[in-house]
A = this chain, B = another copy of it.
Amino acid sequence: MLSVTEFFADVSREVDGTLDTIIPKADVEPTRLHEAIRWSVFAGGKRIRPAILMATGRTFGVPSEQLANTSAAVEMIHTYSLIHDDLPSMDDDELRRGKATCHKQFGEATAILAGDVLQTLAFKAIADDETLTAEIRLILISLLAEAAGTPAGMVSGQQLDLDAEGRELSIGEIETIHGQKTGALISAAALSGAIIGNAANNELGAIESYSTSLGLLFQITDDLLDVTQATETLGKTAGKDAVAEKATYPGHYGVEETKAMASTVRDEACDALSHVEKDTTLLIELADFVLSRTR
């Protein structure tokens, strides 16, 4: 069994290779657009979503080549959302993964287009993936679109987040926002790996529970990092959530209680795996990695 560090190195190498093939080279016209896309896609992202997809896929015995395009697609959807989220009219962020955000580097108009076309490329990557049956490709496209869309996906979560700024939220509202904005895509990544691996229905249910807890864990640790880490370590502007009066777990429960909650949610994720009749070590290690991450 690979260590989780080696696994992440594998994932990054594989997904970067696929993304480099899918995204037009920076010298292809219009060069400014392709430079902008590559600026954000190859900005040193953690590749958490491809890792979750590949970990689930490996758990169900899927060969890497059948996971490549879908992993890249999920990462492209994620990157498009970051580019648009950072825009002046949204979170107005200047720093992302330790580099200037896309609009700071290339201007707002190009950043909007770069995000737009990353979404297009994501769906095309799955539609064109000849390692998968037509039926599986359509299930994956529909699943990813639901997770990225509305009324219970990434974009609706971003809208709820916008609508909520400046007012106090209940913990239920916080969970709804996070579940849509971050959790839906993480669950879609996990389910995609299992679907490609022809998982049985009860196993899909287990993976869905696991990934829902993992998504929640990811958001809780994200909120904790925003409070506890310096901008330098984080690679993005720290303390932004408090300034923007965003709804966060530490804001609601305090740091210590939030840390205890993270540990409980990690256990819930791993407990859900008991229904999967495979070696789930990698998925457990992934949950531990998310629990203890420092960026």
Contacts and interface: CB of A to CB of B under 8 A. Distances in A.
Interface of A: 24, 28-30, 32-34, 80, 84, 87, 89-90, 107-110, 112-113, 115-117, 119-121, 123-124, 127-128, 134-135, 137-138, 141-142, 145-146, 148-151, 153, 155-156, 158-160, 162-163
A128 B142 contact: yes
A110 B33 contact: no
A25 to B, nearest CB: 9
Contacts of A119: 116, 119-120
Contacts of A30: 150-151, 156, 159-160, 163
Contacts of A109: 87, 89-90, 162
B112 A112 contact: yes
A112 B151 CA distance: 16
A149 B120 contact: yes
Chain B CB within 10 Å, residue with most, of A90, A109, A146? A109
Q: How many copies does the complex hold?
A: 2
Contacts of A34: 150-151
Given A134-B135, A145-B123, A90 B117 contact: no
Contacts of A158: 113
A186 B63 CA distance: 39
B127 A142 contact: yes
A92 to B, nearest CB: 10
Contacts of A89: 107-109, 112
19 contacts: A24-B150, A24-B151, A30-B151, A30-B159, A34-B151, A84-B116, A87-B108, A87-B109, A89-B109, A110-B162, A112-B112, A113-B159, A116-B119, A117-B150, A120-B150, A121-B145, A124-B142, A127-B141, A137-B138
Contacts of A138: 127, 134, 137-138
B134 A120 contact: no
Given A141-B141, A150-B117, A159 B32 contact: yes
A73 to B, nearest CB: 11
B135 A28 contact: no
A112 B87 contact: yes
B29 A151 contact: yes
Which 4 A-B residue pairs are closest in the complex by CB-CB distance?
Answer: A89-B108, A124-B145, A134-B134, A120-B149
